Each structure stands twice: as structure tokens, then as C-alpha cells.
Amino acid sequence: MTTQRAAPQAVEKKRRWTSLSKLSDFNPMFLGESVMTYIAKNESARIYSSLLILQLINLLLLAYEYIRFGFRSHQPANVSRDDGVRLYDCLHGENEVAANTFEFPHFEICSDESAHSDHYYITSNKSKKIQDYINHPSKAVSKQIAKEWKILEKDLPESIYVRVYEQRIDLIRAVIIGASGTPYHDGLFFFDIVLPSDYPNHPPQVYYHSHGLRLNPNLYGSGTVCLSLIRTWSGNGVELWRPSKSTILQLLVSLQGLVLNAKPYFNEPGREVGLKSTSATWIKRSMAYNEEVFILSCKTMLYNLQKPPTGFHNFIVEHFRNHGDFILAAIRAYRNGEAVVGQYQEVGSVPSTPVHVPAKSFRKHLEKIHSDLKLAFIKIDTDPPRMRNLELEKAKTSESSGDESNRGLACKIFDALKWMFDFE
């Protein structure tokens, strides 16, 4: 995954804030200029104004949430000098000047021992005897694991990322990106896997990072994964683990396609009969379940941002920088009845009339999660797309466009606030 983002230099930050610390450098009435003219022309003042904008946005969000929902769900955010620099860079186009390329390979072998420190199965196969057996290059299990790595490196789908560990070849961590057309779209779902000492004679064990949420009949809040392939659920023939044929890649693809699917309601035993039914009852139940699942998927996004699994922090941040705007737009579309959950296609692609009427309780949950996610995306520096578009129209000259510069900065500030409250 490749993403462009700003990278302000530490030296430049220090220079700006050293300048800002001089009170004489921030005099709104300097040479008789108006406050807006001064801000537009003075770099340090612009940074300082960025801090004020962030503080104002935070206070307005608290007031907005209290008025709209009747309660306050979060504490005022701490706004730092670095936050002011980031907003300043976003408003003034420095994101385009110094950009870094972020690469996160689909498959990677991690040599750092701390990379698997929080793996759920870190204590499994822990004895030196078992580890020596697994890691011995002449043993069948070691050869099989090496074979699995090659398969993963070569054939992983675009939406699955895997980390394995040089010091613990029996451990695997994978993240699956929820597919479009499902209530899991754009979400991140983490799985920890351990291979037994007699692998592949017995299937791997799998733990789902649920954060206590059950968003699928096969994925329990405890982290248990129910799947025939790993023999945690009943099955027949090809559904079960076959030592000579089954692979980790097959397991991951099964989790994505069979578990995190478009109609997870029918994953529950006994409901299969309704999967192809045209009965309004089955359809209504499935849609209601998808709505519940989508809210839980959004909550999982928040948990992943708050406490990312080791080795995936940058991946999570970049993923939501890329997908944050689409996720928020989808929430608004579902809230307004412009699309059913999982069927939102792209920003701006909404029908002229609602396609259905969402339940009041679902609308309320969407409003709350929209507010929470928007705050979380701001925290990771997801700049509003409309602000980026404004930067394309940035004035080419500075000295000869005093009034235009003032109006441009004011519009950018207004646009940022408008983006914060745009839910209609």
C-alpha cells in the first residue's frame, strides 16, 4: 500500500515555534493591518491561529454532540503545538512539498523479537524442546512452514496482509480488509494464528481480535473462531482440514469469503434455508443484522486506532487516511436511507430519493459512530478532502493578493468547520 502524506521537518518546526514565542512577532495591529491580513502574511501567526482553530473545533464538537445527542461522549482533546503545525501545513499546502512514501508489503518476515510480543499465542509451543523441534531445518514441520511462507508471499490477495516471525516461525498475524458489498467494508480484522508442533497433521489454532464484540456468528466476543476448516465446527469432506492439501492461505481466504461475507446472518446454523429465500421476513432479518454488524465493525475501527496490534500501527493509520472519507460518507448514506448497509459505492453516488427508511435506533447509532470516527480520523491527521481541493486553487502570488489571501484563509477555516459538522 502506497500513500503520500506530509512530513514537516523537525528543524522547521523548531524555527516556527521559536519565532512564535516572541510576543512582538504576533501583533495583530502591526503597521495598522487588520487581524486577517496580518494572519495571512505572518507565518507564526498562521500557526498560532491553527491552534485556535483546533481548540474551537473541539469545543464546537462538544456543544454539537450535547445538543444533538443529549450527552457528551468524550473529553476535550489535548491540542499540542505539533497539532497546530499539522493543521497549518494542511491549510497552506506544505503537504505537497515534502511527502514520504509509505510501503507496507503484503507479506513480511519480521526479525525483531518484539514484533510478536503481544501475539495471543506467544506462550504456546514455548518450551525449548518444542521450539528446537519446530525450528530445526531438517524437520518436516520446518520445511512445511517454509513452504507455507512461499505460498503466502506469492498468492496473497490484495486485501490480506500477513506478518510471520523469524524467531517464532510457528506464529502468524494476519489482517483482512473487509470487502466492498459487505457490512464489513473498509474495516480491519486481525487474526493471530499458531501452528502446532506436528503441523500440518493438525490444523492451526486461530484467535480473532474481537475487542469483546461479536460481529459474526462465527467470530465470538472471546476471540474464538468457529470454522470447519480448523475443526472448531462440524463439517464434511473438503470442509475439514486435510494435511496434504490445506494451507494457511486457504484458511485466510475462507475467513474473508465464508465468514466476513455479504449476508453473515445466514452463517448461523439453522438459518441456511433463508439464504436464497425471497421471503420478506428473511430479507428483513438479514438487513437488520447487517446494520448491527456495521456498527460493531465501526467500533472495531476505533479500537484498532486506539490500540493497534504490534507491527501494524502505521498500516492502520494509513488505511484510515485512505478510507476515512469514504467510511464517513457511507455512514451518512446509511443514515439518510440513500443506501442499505454494504451497498454504498462511492462518495457522491446517492439516489435522488431514499431507497429505504432506516430505523430510528439505527440512525441514532450511526450519528454517534460518525461523530466518534470523525474525531478519530482527525487525530490521525486525515485532512478533509474539500480542504485538499481548496489547496489546488491556492493563490500563485502572495504580495499582490492581500484581500484574496484573507478571503482564502477564512474560506479554508470555514470549510474545515463545515466538514466537521456535515452530516446531511
Cite the active site residues.
226
Closest listed residue to residue 92, CA positions, set 156, 152, 44: 44
- The residue assigned the cell 503481544 is 118
Torsion of the alpha carbons at 259, 265, 271 and 273, rounded to the nearest 10: -90
DSSP string, 57-120: HHHHHHHHHHHHHSS--SPPPP--HHHHHHHHHHHHTGGGTSEEEEE--SEEEE--GGGGTT-T
Among 159, 160, 189, 422, CA closest to 296: 189
Name the residue among 82, 102, 79 with its Cα closest to residue 9.
Answer: 82
Q: Which positions ≥6 away from 119 have C-beta within 8 Å?
A: 168, 171, 173, 192, 310
List the end-to-end C-alpha distance of the chain, in Å, as a whole number.
Answer: 32
Cα–Cα–Cα angle for 395, 397, 401, nearest 5°? 80
Alpha-carbon distances of 373 from 241, 275, 301, 305, rounded to whole Å: 39, 32, 8, 10
Cell 512539498 belongs to which residue? 97
273, three cell numbers: 434455508
How far is Cα 326 from Cα 103, in angstroms, rounded to an integer?
21
User: How far is it, in rounded angstroms, from Cα 223 to Cα 225?
Assistant: 6
- Say which residues have a Cβ less than 8 Å from residue 78's Cβ, sequence separation at least 6: none
Question: Cis omega before residue 200 (within 30°)?
Answer: yes
